[in-house]
Structure 1
Amino acid sequence: MSVSSWNDAPPRPPAEVLAWSRALLDPALRAAVDDLPAATRDIAAFHFGWRDAEGRPASGDAGKAVRPALTLLSAAAVGGTAAAALPAAVAVELAHNFSLLHDDVMDGDVTRRHRPTAWTVFGSNAAILAGDALLAGAFEALAGGPAPASSVRTLGRAVLELVEGQGEDLSFERRAEVPLAECLAMAGRKTGALLGAACALGAALGGADANAEGIALRAERLGSFGERVGLAFQLADDLLGIWGDPDVTGKPVHSDLRNRKQSLPVVAALESGTPAGDELAVLYRRGDPLADTDAARAAALVEAAGAREWAARKADALCAAALTDLDAADPVPTVAAELRALAHMLTHRDH
């Protein structure tokens, strides 16, 4: 789609944008997975919902593919084409799913997207190796396109941030107290870094033929937009981890609380200095997962401590700051409207 076409067309709703992105992404993503060694290829195809456990064709949910959509829109936002940024879109989706395969093993999650996780079907070691293969494929996809060396460094830095954030998240499970500022920084690395890279990479590839200095500044702004949206998205996700509808989340209600997860609303409640926060701390010091009644009580305590409201307000503030970054990137107006709508969808998820 040309710049004039973007300007002439009305903004599309998020669902239509995600369907458009998925249609562009899937053939290239499938081709990248098909290039993997056979053992890891079959596990990746199962993880994406393309194959069942016996290798037969399936049509499972492969996720919304938000990160590739941000990449493709960011390319259009600086006046480029989505096609120019397709290698980066494939790369960020592969990198994201590398992290999901590893997360499921580390967290012991048995379902994802309403079906068994890969490690429960193929074993932990095989799932980890499949994740490693996806990460290698991500860099191969990016390096095989028109991306400059700086784009490979952008993705590499984002993955390092993601890994550091995941490591910090795991370490929090062994600590009785985690400062809220530290928890926010962890979430920014674990979730915000790759969303920021997705936007920055799209802008860099979409504007490759334009003024290099100007594109670098616009890519930086769009990267900041993505990072802030990512942290707001994590706040919204943490709220869903406590109060989300199991039919939507695919997890039991209060699932994060049952596992005594140090999510952002929980840490905010524990730091609140309120009687509800103090009572929650007593519950969280227990060594075993919380029973249903205790988990329900913990959810009520988080809300009574003001942490549910705090998380929603924090997400709103981050989203507002992200939109300021977006405006500073001087985006194509129609694309900017689609990015705003997508950011709102990600950060306002029934909380």
Structure 2
Amino acid sequence: MTSPDAAMEGHRAAALLEDTRNAVHPHLRAAVETLPGAIRRVAMYHFGWQNADGSPASGQEGKAIRPALVLAAARATGGDTETAMRAAVAVELAHNFTLLHDDIIDEDTTRRHRPTAWAVFGVPDAVITGDAMLALAVRLLADDPHPASAPAVVRLSTCIIELCAGQQADCALEERGPEDVTLDECLAMAMAKTGALLGCACALGALYAGADERAVRAMDGFGREAGLAFQLIDDLIGIWGDTARTGKPVGADLTAHKKSLPVVAALTSDTPAAAELAELYRGVMNTPGEVRSAADAVDRAGGRDWAQVTAADRMARAVHHLSRAVPAPAGSGDLLALAEFVTRRTS
């Protein structure tokens, strides 16, 4: 049962995300509409604003967690949301660059309840559109007359390099046998692949608020730890998520033999269930029965419990970082609500 406090935080986070979408998406759309014709068409489809034929669409958009973190971090460190708007848009563009490429790498054919961009327009157009989105994100920051522009460009660019290294590590891990991957390797990969961009989002908000370097670093630490908690929950959803909410098939990560954090925790548990899971991962594992067996093995080997406990621990670390950046508890309420949301979400 959800506690009244948790429910209140959930409502607060939902309102923050809705407000962020309303504030950021007009700026985001205006930026995307500056892209050249064919690239713009793919981008508009990816964001859910158009159908494949170019007609208007009203499908689901992203949750806007990363731009919400930019704006909340700016407010928490004494800035205002309008000043940090370009940074919020840039972070969302960078995030969607990764989604376009990840869908291709993972061969995912569904996102937000409809075919992925590469499945509709082909791999070359989806890759090129992702590249253009990243360049657009950097240009938005570089063109900004705000004093934080230059350090923001450096920070986002450094983050993207780290993120790419995390994605490359993820791909390399997939090529190795189910018993040849360590939990420490997976945690480092997830911190780079997911934590880095959430950390960057929080740091950019603080930069645009004029915060000092200590506060910027602390905000980065908060976002990174919250990002790792986010990834842990995302991995649980990838195994046990509801298709009606996620828009992806049940057990999609297992079918793809992904070495997600709960899976690797289970594989390294030295239990009979770990051996069962390793055997399933050595096979094709594409029938519903095999996927259910794999999910059950992860659970019995302790992977599910470990991921939930570790997500809570990482959130505690995030809160510690936040207290260093924003000593007054009243100023950190929005960031805490968003962090709580990412560890309690179900899709």
The normalised TM-score by structure 2 is 0.93
SS in 2 for 1:75: helix
Distance in 2 (CA, whole Å) between partners of 1:253 and 1:282 is: 20
Q: Which residue of 1 aligns with 2:232?
A: 235
Q: CA deviation at 1:173?
A: 1.5
Deviations 1:238-264 (A, max 9, x none): 001111111111112111112211110
Distance in 1 (CA, whole Å) between partners of 2:258 and 2:203 is: 31
Distance in 2 (CA, whole Å) between partners of 1:133 and 1:289 is: 36
Q: Which residue of 1 aligns with 2:92?
A: 93
Say if 1:11 and 1:338, in contact at 8 Å, map to a contact too.
Answer: no
Q: CA deviation at 1:331?
A: 5.5
Say if 2:10 and 2:341, in contact at 8 Å, map to a contact too.
Answer: no
Distance in 2 (CA, whole Å) between partners of 1:55 and 1:331 is: 49
Q: Give ranges in structure 1 of 5+ residues lacking alignment.
A: 1-9, 208-213
Q: CA deviation at 1:131?
A: 0.4
Q: CA deviation at 1:289?
A: 3.6
Q: Give ranges in structure 2 of 5+ residues lacking alignment.
A: 1-8
Q: CA deviation at 1:295?
A: 1.1
Q: Which residue of 2 aligns with 1:186?
A: 189
Q: Which residue of 1 aligns with 2:5?
A: none
Pairing of 1:331-350 with structure 2 (within 5 A): 333-350=329-346
Say if 1:67 and 1:89, in contact at 8 Å, map to a contact too.
Answer: yes
Q: 1:240 to 1:266 in 2, by over 3 A?
A: same
Identity over aligned residues, as a percent? 51
Say if 1:11 and 1:337, in contact at 8 Å, map to a contact too.
Answer: no
Q: CA deviation at 1:290?
A: 3.1
Deviations 1:126-154 (A, max 9, x none): 01000000000000111122233211110
Q: Which residue of 1 aligns with 2:309?
A: 313
Say if 1:77 and 1:336, in contact at 8 Å, map to a contact too.
Answer: yes
Q: CA deviation at 1:11?
A: 11
Q: CA deviation at 1:67?
A: 0.2
Q: CA deviation at 1:348?
A: 2.1
Q: CA deviation at 1:349?
A: 2.6
Kindly indicate whether residue 213 of structure 2 is the aligned counterpart of residue 216 of structure 1: yes
**AA aligned opposite 2:156:** L
Q: 1:331 to 1:130 in 2, by over 3 A?
A: farther
Q: Which residue of 1 aligns with 2:30?
A: 31
Equivalent residues, number: 335
SS in 1 for 2:270: coil
Q: Which residue of 1 aligns with 2:326?
A: 330
Say if 2:239 and 2:295, in contact at 8 Å, map to a contact too.
Answer: yes
Distance in 1 (CA, whole Å) between partners of 2:48 and 2:346 is: 26
Pairing of 1:45-56 with structure 2 (within 5 A): 45-56=44-55
Q: Which residue of 1 aligns with 2:154?
A: 153
